[in-house]
Amino acid sequence: MTDEAISDPCEVADDRPRLRGGTVSTTGMIFLVVAATAPLTALSSNISISIGLGAGTETVGYLAVVGALLALFAVGFLVLSRYVVEPSAFAAFVTFGLGRRLGSSAAFVAALAYGLASTAMVAATGYFAKLTLDSYVGSAPPWYVLSAVALCVVAILGVRGLDIAQWVMVLLCSAQFVIVIALFVAVLVQRPASAWLPDDLLPTEPFSGTAALTLVFCLVCFGGYEATAVYGEEAKAPRRSIRRATFGALGLLFAIFALGTWTLKAAHQDVVALATADAGALVPVTAETYLGHWAGPVLSVMVAFSFLGAAIALHNMGSRYLFAMGRSGRLPDVLARVHPRHGTPMVGTAILVALTALILAGFATLGADPLTNLFPAVSGITSLSLVTLMLGCCVSVIVARVRGHVTEGPWQAIVAPAVAGAGLVVVIAAIARNYATVTGSENPVVAWMPLVPVLIAIYGWFHPGRAAQEGLNT
């Protein structure tokens, strides 16, 4: 066992800054994970695109495959969570088994991914809020004004803490679930039983290019899966909450995406043709057809709120990464300061809000469309970064088991992570092979954007921070 590999697994010193414990419940953690995926938006975009360009109605089966893959990943993930409770969850897990330098690279990449993803979601909130107001009111402020309002909400909740944010997420996610369930009931009542037969739902060509593309889109729908461990330091019962919230969030997301996808299949004679013609219109058209014209405006509003929920959740994850990186010495110590009353990472929140405002101001000044320019670049970076970080966790738990860091059995610490890791390698290869489709852009600038996390990972390697600041919290 090398010195570097064991340097970080230790308890955070009592005199080091800490986030306020006992502020988030298991239910809150579940919905903070769910909110980060923007479920209604994911159904309207990633799932619909998968139906049109991927494996068609077999997307339901591939959701089950991805769910099983993530369940296997969760086995090793939860092994590491028993030994490490740290806001920079993936990075701390990588550090635990693979050393501070790789852990530092992971931390910088994750902070970049969550920061950019939050910015994109704020921009999308303003963009879709403007479309909604234009369509149903007749006029609206510019998208960047509405995005600025959304950013203020993100900032307030970021400082106020998870005790409030978690219930905002419960409200926003529940409203999205109501829409999906209402659509399911409407289609169930209005369509014949034969429309619900499980024909063409199971994967038939798992090694085809369309299957690989569908795997990518399905996995992206479960983004933010790390959040349960990110909030561990603030949970009421960290290890128990992380375990319950991890599987609770996975089950809830799978249920809503599978139900929504099956509903879309049952609603149309040829859903693949409709999704191929205009994937973005599939869910709105289905809703208006089966629920009535009132569903269009409601759906538009809920999509905007879906993006807002994702912005809040992703911002909270990014700010906690910055806090942990300040505490470990990877970034300036000032980032480890917490709000004196709420115990939240106030400096990290301020920095992310400022950077988001700067990026949005740039787009507004140039007159650039954030949806066609910002979103493609961010979607590619975040998908590659987060799947690679998950792979790093799989390798880390195996190495930790071999080196004697963990005492769990071969199934939990070797077999399950190895199988999950192999699946994640397939997904990474599929993203690389279908990068233009995943991002929705042929722009060469977007195609080269994956170099950004590579460069920041190299930077992180050379800034490993202080030893003995990240690891066991018992």
The whole-angstrom separation of Cα 49 and Cα 53 is: 6
Q: Which spans in 328-415 are helix H?
A: 346-366, 370-402, 410
Tens of pLDDT along 112-155? 999 999 999 999 999 999 989 988 888 889 999 999 999 999 99
Query: CATH homologous superfamily for 3-8+20-459?
Result: Amino acid/polyamine transporter I (1.20.1740.10)
144 contact partners, CB below 8 Å, separation of at least 6: 126, 360, 361, 363, 364
pLDDT tens digits in sequence order for the chain, 474 residues long: 333 333 333 344 456 788 999 999 999 999 999 999 999 999 999 999 999 989 999 999 999 999 999 999 999 999 999 999 999 999 999 999 999 999 999 999 999 999 999 999 999 999 999 989 988 888 889 999 999 999 999 999 999 999 999 999 999 999 999 999 999 999 999 999 999 998 888 888 877 778 888 999 999 889 877 889 999 999 988 888 899 999 999 999 999 999 999 999 999 999 999 999 999 899 999 999 999 988 988 998 999 999 999 999 999 999 999 999 999 999 999 999 999 999 999 999 999 999 999 999 999 998 888 888 888 889 889 999 999 999 999 999 999 999 999 999 999 999 999 999 999 999 999 999 888 888 888 889 889 999 999 999 999 999 998 764 444 433
**Domain spans, the chain:** 3-8+20-459
pLDDT in tens, 178-230: 999 999 999 999 999 999 998 888 888 877 778 888 999 999 889 877 889 99
CB atoms within 10 A of CB 15: 6
Q: Please count the other Cβ atoms lying within 10 Å of the Cβ belonging to residue 334.
A: 10
Distance CA 441, CA 341 (A): 45
For 220-274, what is each residue's pLDDT tens digit? Answer: 889 877 889 999 999 988 888 899 999 999 999 999 999 999 999 999 999 999 9
Q: What residue type is assigned to position 392 of the chain?
A: G
End-to-end CA gap in the chain: 22
